[in-house]
Structure 1
Amino acid sequence: MTDSKKWRVLVINPGSTSTKLGLFEGGAAIFTKSIDHNASKLAEFETISDQMPYRRDMILSALVENNQKLEDIDAFVGRGGGLLPLEGGTYVVDDTILDHAYRGANGVQHPAQLGSQLAHAFAQQAGNKPCYVVNPPDTDELCDSARMTGIRGVYRHVHLHALNLKETAIRHAVSMDKQYEDCNFIVCHIGGGISISAHQHGRMIDGNDIVGGEGPMTPTRCGSMPVSEVLSLIDSGLSTADVRKLTLKSGGFVNLLGTSDAREVTARAEKGDKVAARVWAAMTYQICKWIGAMAVVLNGQVDGILLGGGMVHDKGLVQDITQTCSWIAPVTAYPGEFELEAMAAGANRVLNKEEKPKVYTGVPVFTSFADEQ
């Protein structure tokens, strides 16, 4: 292997209703495809991991349709779902990763668990080629102060769009002729879920827990709420399962406006729907408030505020955030996401020996403070 080679990397990102696929050469896309899955078909499988043969065959068909052969691919990357909290980076897929992905060791059952399993199967079939996961969903680089709560033995954890957040930061640093490790950024992913994170010298030291219910309201999530109000909901007759749905699936726009479509919400607001306008304004307010909190985490030393995710296509949203937050640092929009590109870029950095691959220990990076044990 030489540094000058244009590596061909296949990346696989399984989602709830689709599998996103991309083949990259030297960082440039040869083709990308979103393979849609019928919900009734997926419902036939008892577990997430049981879906693997079904999704594998559809990926192979997509490769055939695009005249691509597995043996011509240099490396494979899968989304790293199911793993326990770990530092960011590019990890070699090994037996420990495969075991944790198969059973969902982090307790969150999500199709992203299939990423490493599918990538490994293809890597083996192609002749035992390199196989990786890059900045998995449970990337945890929190500083100690960010972990604390006011209850002994209860700690904050983060579940963020780590892959897209870090890739956005890396790309923006390059645009400044700097290294990610030399910069401080506030990076946001604003879509169906909203992640807002503080990056200090190459580490994501704080952010909201989107699975735990922290952060701004989103199209499908209620966002941060006082604990007493949550308890009142339960006292009123809602089950913990009902409240969990409000946290992850049926809160936010869905609960308040009956839709998860941000475009519909803005259209209704523009036509004079006062409720839609108020909800949109509240979400924007909450995003800006969390950005402000991350600025404090970085001691006001912020090189840029970076906005990514699907809702960043809305120019009005970007304008409102810029107007409110640009006194902290310049605001730059990166609409959409770089998840496929980010996975390919992580593999390329390792293959080009710009970055050392990491080994997944299977041990969480944090369980408790030593003096509290």
Structure 2
Amino acid sequence: MKKIVAINLGSTSTKIAYYEDETCVFKDNIKHEASVIKGFNSIWDQLDYRTEQIEAYLAKKHIKIEDLDAVATRGGHTEPIVGGVYRINEKMLEQSGSEKYGNHPTDLGLRIANEFAKRGVQAFTVDPPTTDEFEKLARYSGIPSIERRSSFHVLNHRAVGMQYAKDMGKKYEDLNLVGVHMGGGISVSVHKKGKLVDANNALDGDGPFSANRCCTVPIGELIKLCYSGDYTYDQMRKLINGNSGLMGYLGENDAKIIEDRALAGDEKCKEVMEAMCYQVAKEIGADATVLKGDVDAILFTGGMAHSKWIVGMISEYVKYIAPIAVYPGEYEMQSLGLNTLAALNGQTEIKELK
């Protein structure tokens, strides 16, 4: 029997799951007080704190790190790589730590898993966010010095695509799908016969605005803001990822709270949510054209997929394209656990960044 712990770090929480072979014995979310997190200057300073929190939680479940076969973490940011199961190595840690390719609490997850590896546990990541299976035409931006890059919720997109295929009794590699992940960021992806060949950069690139990110904006006006003298570089970064989207328009980034206000009669909340859904629908339509209209299904996932109101608004625009399936929440922990198990059993190749 293989024993695997999966971790997924967020800004103020750490998701954790424990697997014995295919069985998820428990799954939980360790919440960290915002006041504590704010006391750290960077995510890297949280290494000891987060590690201790994970170990303390596992101790309550009578699980020792030394007794595990593997720890799997949602991956950090490295150079573009193909999808799969990766052993965490020094090059991956170096690139993640450089922040050259992006920075997110999941980058710290690599370091935590590596610390556990020093105690005899294998450490892996699965389908990291810089997984790049884009086709050539998807990379063009219009400016030769700027290339569109793969940076989105790859782990959950692929996991939900594979779950849908399983539910339909089909092979993921035989399907064309449009995936819609709606969480803190919103990413819409093209699944073409088992590969994620296009998607918007939901971190700081393009696509629909979301809870606290603007993504695609009129570029001329953005340039004016950058050179207005009203913002520093760091302030602009915070504006486009942190203080825009729902947060920028409404001063609130919790979609459930905004939905409740809208349904209670708040017209501003209603209009902003409708605008977000309008943009998501446009992105779905654009991705359907990549598949030349040959779309087997549109898959909704992420936290906002729990909302029938939000999914319903978007569906009204796109239901003519293909059948719609909804997978609320995330399948990331399941993907980490089961793909790691397959790697340990020799059913999936273990890759390394070289």
Query: Do these two structures clear the TM 0.5 threshold for a shared fold by scoring above it?
Result: yes
How many residue pairs end up in the alignment?
A: 353
Counterpart of 1:61 (choices 38, 44, 56) is 56
Could you tell me which of 305, 308, 333 is aligned with 2:301?
308
- Choose the corresponding residue for 1:117, options 83, 92, 111: 111
Alignment partner, residue 226 of structure 1: 218
The residue aligned with 1:348 is 341
Instruction: Give the Cα–Cα distance (whole angstroms) in 2 for the partners of residues 121 and 299 of structure 1.
Output: 46
* Counterparts of 2:103 and 2:215, CA distance in 1: 21
Partner-residue secondary structure (3-state), 1:320: helix
Distance in 2 (CA, whole Å) between partners of 1:257 and 1:36 is 25
Corresponding residue number in structure 1 for 2:70: 75
TM-score by length of 1: 0.89
Residues 222-262 of structure 1, C-alpha deviations (whole Å, 9 max, x = no match): 23111112123335443243332232111111111121121
- CA positional deviation for 1:192: 1.5
Question: 1:203-218, aligned counterparts within 5 Å?
Answer: 203-218=195-210
Per-residue displacement from partner, 1:343-366 (whole Å, max 9, x unpaired)?
Answer: 1122022123332121212xxxxx
Aligned to 2:238: 245
The percent identity for this pair of structures is 37
Kept after mapping to 1: 8 A contact 2:343/2:350: yes
Q: Alpha-carbon deviations, 1:272-323, whole Å to 9, x = none? A: 2222111111111111110000100111111111000101111112222223
Trace 1:160-239 onto structure 2 (pairs within 5 A). 160-239=152-231
RMSD of the TM alignment (CA)? Answer: 1.8
- The AA in structure 2 aligned to 1:167 is A
Query: What's the CA shift string for 1:199-241, capped at 9, x where partnerless?
Result: 1111111111112331111121123111112123335443243
Number of the residue aligned with 2:21: 26
Change (3 A) 1:263 1:42: closer
Structure 1 window deviating more from structure 2 (261-270 vs 304-313): it is 261-270
* Greater shift in the superposed pair: 316-325 or 88-97: 316-325
The residue number in structure 1 matching 2:10 is 15
Between the aligned partners of 2:37 and 2:263, the Cα distance in structure 1 is 38
Structure 1's unaligned 5+ residue stretches are 1-5, 362-373
Q: Which runs of 5+ in 2 are unaligned?
A: none
Whether 1:286 aligns to 2:279 is yes
3-state DSSP of counterpart to 1:222: coil
User: In structure 2, how many angstroms separate the alpha carbons of the residues matched to 1:228 and 1:102?
Assistant: 33
| 1:130 alignment partner in structure 2 | 122
Structure-2 separation of matches of 1:48 and 1:250: 19
The one-letter code sitting in structure 2 at the alignment partner of 1:305 is I
Describe the SS at the equivalent of 1:167.
helix
